[in-house]
Structure 1
Amino acid sequence: MSTLLKIQSSLFNEHGQSSALIDHFVKNWQELNPEGTVVNRNLAENPIPHLDLPRFQAFATNPSEMTEVQREVVAQSDALIEELNHADVIVLGVPMYNFQVPSVLHTYFDHIARADVTFRYSADGPEGLIKGKKAYIFITRGGVYGEDHAQTNFLREILGFIGITDIEFIHAEGLAISEDTKAESLAAAEQRIMQLMPKAEFAL
């Protein structure tokens, strides 16, 4: 039985365009995987605390020397990483805010990128430890910036850093230009979803 992890980051929650697109994707995925499990992670509704010095130090502290507060910090991070480890498919809804990913999503990455847990350093450079995953990232933007953009490149880099390299990007751009442009872009993204839906794609 396959598991899909759905990660939302839109401040508008279910009303955000990125949320609507990933909901559309997940609905179609469930039709092809009726026995599959969907795990929901809404970062806007349940934000993760920003990484500060005490939280960073908790990740580097020997478990035998941790305080109770540090154990709680690490336990929260461990739970997020456990979700990733158990997922076969990861779907992210990512609007553009000030040319980058939402801060709640960046904070999420801060808590799952942990040395010797999700990546490690070696003589050959860093190695991601979360492997064998397929990621679909739906990016929504008011303007038109293209795939070679800092936001897209950041997502590719941070996911690749922890081992997730099989990534499909779906961009819906120009949503603030006009109603016609918005409708055309969203329709193209939905069409792309249908192209990604053959049963072989999800024979997990």
Structure 2
Amino acid sequence: MSDVFEGYERQYCELSTNLSRKCHSASVLSDGEDKKGKIAEIKSGIDEADVLIRKMDLEARSLQPSAKAVCLSKLREYKSDLNQLKKEFKRVSSADAKQSSREELMESGMADLHAVSADQRGRLAMSVERLDQSSDRIRESRRLMLETEEVGISIVQDLSQQRQTLLHAHNKLHGVDDAIDKSKKVLTAMSRRMTRNKWIVTSVIVALILAIILIISYKLSH
């Protein structure tokens, strides 16, 4: 369900309840400035309700098929409710509304008044129920949002810990690389020293051999 559609739905339910109350108030007023002012308020409210219905219609048709079907079903109920409000407004705002109301009361008695009140109470109860459902959905959406936020925070914390672990491992690798470089330098120096010592020993041996040859040659000649 779209949050935008639910917002329009909540506004319409509140507006429908207020319009129903105003229509009932206007029906018991005598002709005069008060009634004209009330009728003007109702007319403005019905125009606003029409705008909300059109907005809900556009929003519902832009949704995914599953959510779209649910929203369009609700929209049909709201359109029917708005049509009923328009009929009530037309009856209240007609020039002979007062006379018509008197004739209806005389013909049908108090039973009709109870029926009208029951219808208004039913519409009011339906509007309140819709508001409660919208509030429940909003609370559920807020709960899911908070849970999602907590999960996101937990993931960020885990990633931060992993980053610290990787940085620590990276620093250790740098330390190992430095140790390897030092070992390579030591081994290279030892290798050079061994090579140099080998040449020195070889030179000494050659010199000794030459000395022995010279001594032997000297003795043989004398």
In the superposition, the TM-score normalised over structure 2's length comes to 0.23
Structure number with larger C-alpha Rg: 2
TM-score in terms of structure 1 length: 0.24
